[in-house]
Amino acid sequence: MPVISYREALNHAILEEMERDPDVFLMGEEVGHYQGAYKVSQGLLQRFSERRVVDTPIAEMGFAGVGVGAAMVGLRPIIEFMTFNFSLVAIDQIVNNAAKIYQMSGGQFHIPVVFRGPSGPAVQVASQHSQAFESFYCHVPGLKVVAPSTPYDAKGLLKAAIRDDNPVVFMESETLYNSTGEVPDEDYLIALGVGDIKRAGEQVTLVAWSKMIELCVEASEVLAADGIEAEIVDPRTLRPLDTEIIVNSVRKTGRCVIVEVGWPVCGFGAEIAYRVQRDCLDDLDAPVERVTSDDVPMPYAANLENEVLPQVKDVVAAVRKVLYLE
Amino acid sequence: MPVISYREALNHAILEEMERDPDVFLMGEEVGHYQGAYKVSQGLLQRFSERRVVDTPIAEMGFAGVGVGAAMVGLRPIIEFMTFNFSLVAIDQIVNNAAKIYQMSGGQFHIPVVFRGPSGPAVQVASQHSQAFESFYCHVPGLKVVAPSTPYDAKGLLKAAIRDDNPVVFMESETLYNSTGEVPDEDYLIALGVGDIKRAGEQVTLVAWSKMIELCVEASEVLAADGIEAEIVDPRTLRPLDTEIIVNSVRKTGRCVIVEVGWPVCGFGAEIAYRVQRDCLDDLDAPVERVTSDDVPMPYAANLENEVLPQVKDVVAAVRKVLYLE
Amino acid sequence: MASSADVRVEPATPPEPVIKEELLPLFRQMLAIRRMEEAAAKAYAQGKIGGFLHLIIGQEAICVGAIACLPPNDYVVATYREHGHAYAKGVSARAIMAELYGKRTGASKGLGGSMHIFDRETNFLGGYAIVGGHVPIAAGAAFASKYRSDKRVTLCFFGEGSATIGGFQEGIALAALWNLPVVFICENNQYSMGTPLYRSLAVEDVSMRALAHGMARDRFDGDDVLRVKRRIQTAVDRARETGEPTLVEVRTYRFRGHSMSDPGLYRTREEVVEWRTRDPVAFARRRLVEEGSASEEELEEVEASVKAEIADAVRFAEESAAADDYLSYVYKE
Amino acid sequence: MASSADVRVEPATPPEPVIKEELLPLFRQMLAIRRMEEAAAKAYAQGKIGGFLHLIIGQEAICVGAIACLPPNDYVVATYREHGHAYAKGVSARAIMAELYGKRTGASKGLGGSMHIFDRETNFLGGYAIVGGHVPIAAGAAFASKYRSDKRVTLCFFGEGSATIGGFQEGIALAALWNLPVVFICENNQYSMGTPLYRSLAVEDVSMRALAHGMARDRFDGDDVLRVKRRIQTAVDRARETGEPTLVEVRTYRFRGHSMSDPGLYRTREEVVEWRTRDPVAFARRRLVEEGSASEEELEEVEASVKAEIADAVRFAEESAAADDYLSYVYKE
Ligand SMILES: Cc1ncc(C[n+]2csc(CCOP(=O)(O)OP(=O)(O)O)c2C)c(N)n1
Ligand SMILES: Cc1ncc(C[n+]2csc(CCOP(=O)(O)OP(=O)(O)O)c2C)c(N)n1
Ligand SMILES: [Mg+2]
Ligand SMILES: [Mg+2]
């Protein structure tokens, strides 16, 4: 199977869906002539022209709303946020319009729009550019939220998101764009709401998504060296959440550590922890642990950023804790 | 002690703090000449003039940012959102500026601003006006979040919030404005971050805040009739959260039901549930239960709104469940 | 601060000559909207309608005159004060009234209520309750028309109090930059809730918002439904033929409070009385008689048919079954 | 679309007569900023500075000329492209460079980095990285000045690509409505990242954004630091004396990419070369010699002292201890 980057996988997903369906278009800052701030839309302008690859001024609220309006009358917009940090100036359009129109119109108008872009901290881009808002969007009924960790998942999930008739918040990771993996050439979809076991193991369940899967894989190797086999569960879609795949794993291992790159309080991991204790209380041999970034705005200095972000050693420590190894 | 309404308690808190400190001012839509959309600022314009009670155009992002800028140079703004539904168009100012400036300036500029207004569903105001965003604001380091349930708490906490040197998101409840309670005339503060036991009980811990305390009190009476004594814990401040008062209660009762008016997924109750299982796993005789609104945008019709919102019977049922009574 | 030049409507144009065949149906629509909202106010007082109820009484000439310019497949996007716009676009009084009553037979199946009437059938893209938030949506519908070259036009209504917020400003900026076929219609009714123009606008001429974007603009009084129709028609034609948007400001007045819960203490009785002399419905009726040679009988017939239509709508709403399904429309399968 | 009238800078004013005592210190500041950013670029290439680094090289005359109009207690609010503004306001090259290096001795203790330099000492209210988000903050500082009648003025800098977003539009609207003593200075450097004016602005005259608000406006070229100073002084005086805000657009060009990671492929070499002939630093130097009767020796002395200052700043940054405390500044006790 061809090996391509996460960035290319996203690019191919958009390209294929735009070729498949003339109602699909891409809109955002620098997506066209600049080929994408992070080059995800490389070549698309040349392939589809300015009509379908639309460069916008800096007006997220405006063009996010344009996406909602266009979707209302039958188009299938892909709205790119240069990063999800900038989605906060547009969040009203996503929460109050995209997520609610289907319900408040009594089912007359559905909104097949995808809001996508990189989410989470990159490297030393400081407090206003280093945020992960999964839990904001997961809180809102009417939205679906996806956060792929591999090129294979990224392509199959983005294609499914574009074909979905509901608004989908598709959160990528800038720090994964260059990561590579096997991706088949042929057309395939990954159903939203279906998780995936990234590594099988018996002693502890690690739940993570997006960039944090890498961290868990590294940690699992360190743990394996000590004879501890961790199972890594990647929900891939955060809303709707594949609770079953998590619960089944925890029923087996009796221990659960949730790893997320964002802030601890009201992070999506809290929701997962709630569900795990709800459905597996009797199976739990230890409290559900969480590994998150520190509860602070992200500092700029590299050394401090490392202290704030979840590290392999933090995951290892959390696992040893739920195993009562210290 | 004089009995006044929740609305009057808030009004007195603002009045007293504005009299105490000339740097405190109130700004928002209809706060002045109209005397407040919900009359919380009744009489303040007459008392303090247009200089300190400032009516704004409809521009939440703009005037929320004006509050941050004024706070940066030493004033103590109270920014009123007519309702917190409208805070979504201003949330970038709260999350990216108010919450981060103290940190990103290396501690040079602190932001003593209060963002206040009613939160949560009122009656039949439909999907765009019936939302509770506690978990959005609780997610963000740098912010404090308060949600009082009684006139006494409302006054003491708002005065403390106004004197706090950090940005405070102060969430009131439109459906509590007319509720009454004893409030001393003299100046008093309630420290942010300190919870309160609203009812003592031995068999189950109910955690709730704001409007949901009323619901829990009603439910506790129904339960008492069956000989079930519930303890009602009101954190009052959601961030920083008084985890200890909750944990101590659950250690005693072994059972916990969290009641919130908002959506279930990633609601603040999930964070509480995570902490309870983390700190009391061995004390829990049943999984932590949550009572929330249904996971849908709020419908307009009265009968459907009632189905969606948490009801006394739902709380009673959840308690009976954690007591394995059916 | 606003210079005195800004606060006047320039130039005070004379009413359009009356063509009876044209004015009579517009009069009927305005009257139906008036009666429908009066009935809604009554039902609200009786507790049969809940939540917020924003009446457009006094402003009927704008939605009626403007939407009369549109063929059925053009789009309309409005605010929470949209009963009249929905009716003018073709939504039945029955569907509107049943929605206010929260009934299954309502336009939005009782899920939206007064502020969120939607109707796919008539391309009424809905009423929205976050100020400014619907303006980009209107630009989006117009974007789709340009994308498909389907020659449709979108009308977007909003109040003068909504002309400052980001959603509005970004929405019109994108429409101007991309040449989207949309007409932005500001119903300047002098107040944003309790806030008069001079406390919300540095320049009390909302149409000047167009200058920064090189957008066409127009500005006139909203008391004459025929004038509204003529002037909006020009903007609609511009949008359809050249794809260019227009920002139109129409000066008007709401006779009632902002919503049913607003006593409207911020206005003097004199002011209200003065504006009532410019009631667009009474004005149209008077002119039908004086200039349109319409007979009293004819007009009474119209009034009777309107009365019957609204009575039927109320009966329909009263008798319809309560809304029941709120779970099927969160996600589309 | 923009009419050709819009895309020209009217009228092309001649450079201001040179007063050596006035120009020399401005030249020195511009040169120091130029050298400081060149040093930063070098350190970035060596991996000693991380994250985003946005250089203002080519635009120095604007921050220097504008901020030269202010007494120390006036406020300045800027974007992520703010090294020059911070320096012009009085922040030392040492504190700026150490911040870029993420050191404890940096202006923001290494917590903010290139995009978030703050300095209470000099009333530099910071660099902000959410486009438009800082404009209401500037209005807020000006609101505080009006509230206290302290006669301070706030300068708010932003790029032409930031003139559409809601934060900007609401910020200037409130400043105009409330008469806040603030000067909004648009550094129109022709590009918003890779986007040229014609793809982001329907009318390529950002100063026209003022018309809707009855706000004073000005517009001119940014190559002559003395012109910038004179023209901004007028706006600053207006703000201080009448409390009225002004929207000023200054036409300029950034010689480097948007940030260090941008190769700038969207511009032709010819275009860049043409603009380099209008380099404000070289221009000032030339005129000091030709019209200011400054001697080569004098200027070389200035250049030497600048070189020493920046070398010292780099050494200071290199030798300073790494940032350490990130927990003490989340909440103020
Ligand atoms: C973002 C936002 N802020 C505040 C409100 C509350 N609100 C609803 S209508 C209204 C006044 C709008 O006035 P205007 O735009 O003139 O329209 P009108 O009601 O006069 O038709 C306000 C403040 C809202 N719905 N949305
Ligand atoms: C709300 C928001 N959207 C997008 C960005 C990403 N971004 C940073 S700078 C920039 C271009 C700004 O251009 P301009 O305003 O002209 O300023 P310049 O960089 O040219 O000085 C963009 C798109 C951002 N920081 N904030
Ligand atoms: Mg109005
Ligand atoms: Mg620029």
Does the pLDDT value for residue D10 go beyond 70? no
Is there a cis peptide before residue B240, judged by omega within 30 degrees of 0?
yes
Q: Enumerate residues 136 to 165 of chain A having a beta carbon within 8 A of any beta carbon in chain C.
A: 141-142, 144, 165
Going by the DSSP 8-state scheme, the letter that residue A286 receives in this structure is S
Does the pLDDT value for residue B80 go beyond 90? yes
Answer yes or no: do D161 and A57 touch at CB < 8 A: yes
Say whether residue B304 is in contact with chain A using an 8 A CB cutoff. Answer: no
Does the pLDDT value for residue C4 go beyond 60? no
For chain A, give the mean pLDDT: 98
Structure token digits, residue B53: 């009670």
Closest CB to A107 among C75, C106, C328: C328
Say whether residue B95 is in contact with chain C using an 8 A CB cutoff. Answer: no
* Residues of A known to be catalytic: 60, 129
3-state secondary structure of C130: coil
ipTM of this complex > 0.90?
Answer: yes
Predicted TM-score (pTM) above 0.95: yes
The answer to whether residues A93 and A143 touch, using CB atoms and an 8 Å cutoff, is no
Closest CB to D133 among B65, B108, B166: B65
Residue C74 CB partners (closer than 8 Å, separation 6+): C123, C152, C153, C154, C155, C236
Does the pLDDT value for residue B306 go beyond 90? yes
Does the pLDDT value for residue B25 go beyond 60? yes
Query: What is the pLDDT averaged over residues D157-177?
Result: 98
The upper half-sphere exposure of residue D64, i.e. CA atoms within 13 Å in the direction of its Cβ, equals 29
Query: What is the pLDDT averaged over residues D98-107?
Result: 98
Question: How far is the C-alpha of B258 from the C-alpha of B264, rounded, in Å?
Answer: 11
Does the pLDDT value for residue D1 go beyond 70? no
The upper half-sphere exposure of residue B231, i.e. CA atoms within 13 Å in the direction of its Cβ, equals 23
Query: What is the pLDDT averaged over residues A18-29?
Result: 98
pLDDT in tens, A250-282: 999 999 999 999 999 999 999 999 999 999 999
Place D15 in a pLDDT band, splitting at 50, 70 and 90: confident
Place C11 in a pLDDT band, splitting at 50, 70 and 90: low
Query: What is the pLDDT averaged over residues B204-214?
Result: 98
* Catalytic one of B8, B17, B29, B60: B60
Query: What is the pLDDT averaged over residues D83-107?
Result: 98
Place C95 in a pLDDT band, splitting at 50, 70 and 90: very high
Residue D228 CB partners (closer than 8 Å, separation 6+): D61, D62, D64, D65, D66, D220, D222, D250
Say whether residue D116 is in contact with chain A using an 8 A CB cutoff. Answer: yes
Residue B240: other Cβ atoms inside 10 A: 16
pLDDT in tens, D184-200: 999 999 999 999 999 99
Does the pLDDT value for residue D223 go beyond 90? yes
pLDDT in tens, C259-274: 999 999 999 999 999 9
The answer to whether residues C153 and C181 touch, using CB atoms and an 8 Å cutoff, is yes
Question: How far is the C-alpha of D251 from the C-alpha of D188, rounded, in Å?
Answer: 5
Question: How far is the C-alpha of A29 from the C-alpha of A250, rounded, in Å?
Answer: 42
The per-residue pLDDT for C14 is 85
pLDDT in tens, B223-267: 999 999 999 999 999 999 999 999 999 999 999 999 999 999 999
Residues of B in contact with D170 (CB under 8 A): 59, 61-63, 65
Does the pLDDT value for residue D149 go beyond 90? yes
Does the pLDDT value for residue A318 go beyond 80? yes
Residue for token pair 């380091």: B141
3-state secondary structure of C218: strand
Answer yes or no: do C323 and B86 touch at CB < 8 A: no
The per-residue pLDDT for C253 is 98
Query: What is the pLDDT averaged over residues B115-129?
Result: 97
Angle at B233 between CA B232 and CA B235, to 5 degrees: 150
The per-residue pLDDT for C2 is 34
The answer to whether residues C183 and C235 touch, using CB atoms and an 8 Å cutoff, is yes
pLDDT in tens, C80-91: 999 999 999 999
Query: What is the pLDDT averaged over residues B268-286?
Result: 98
The answer to whether residues D311 and D93 touch, using CB atoms and an 8 Å cutoff, is no
Place C10 in a pLDDT band, splitting at 50, 70 and 90: low
Nearest to A130 by CA among A314, A294, A311: A294
Q: Enumerate residues 58 to 87 of chain A having a beta carbon within 8 A of any beta carbon in chain C.
A: 59, 61-75
The per-residue pLDDT for A150 is 98
Regarding the beta carbon of A89 and ligand 2, being less than 6 Å apart is answered yes
pLDDT in tens, A125-147: 999 999 999 999 999 999 999 99
Query: What is the pLDDT averaged over residues C105-116?
Result: 98
Nearest to B287 by CA among A259, A236, A201, A250: A250
Place D123 in a pLDDT band, splitting at 50, 70 and 90: very high
Query: What is the pLDDT averaged over residues A4-27?
Result: 98
List D103's β-bridge partners, or say none.
D322
The answer to whether residues C113 and C149 touch, using CB atoms and an 8 Å cutoff, is no
The per-residue pLDDT for D5 is 35
Query: What is the pLDDT averaged over residues A175-191?
Result: 96
The answer to whether residues B112 and D187 touch, using CB atoms and an 8 Å cutoff, is no
Answer yes or no: do D330 and A297 touch at CB < 8 A: yes
Q: How far is D10 from chain B (nearest CA, A)?
A: 31
Does the pLDDT value for residue A93 go beyond 80? yes
Question: How far is the C-alpha of A277 from the C-alpha of A270, rounded, in Å?
Answer: 11
Place C7 in a pLDDT band, splitting at 50, 70 and 90: very low
The per-residue pLDDT for D2 is 34
Residue for token pair 């155009």: B57
Place A326 in a pLDDT band, splitting at 50, 70 and 90: confident
B139: annotated active-site residue: no
pLDDT in tens, B35-62: 999 999 999 999 999 999 999 999 999 9
The per-residue pLDDT for B152 is 98
A273, B200, B250, B284 from B273: Cα distances, Å: 8, 20, 11, 11
Question: How far is the C-alpha of D174 from the C-alpha of D172, rounded, in Å?
Answer: 5
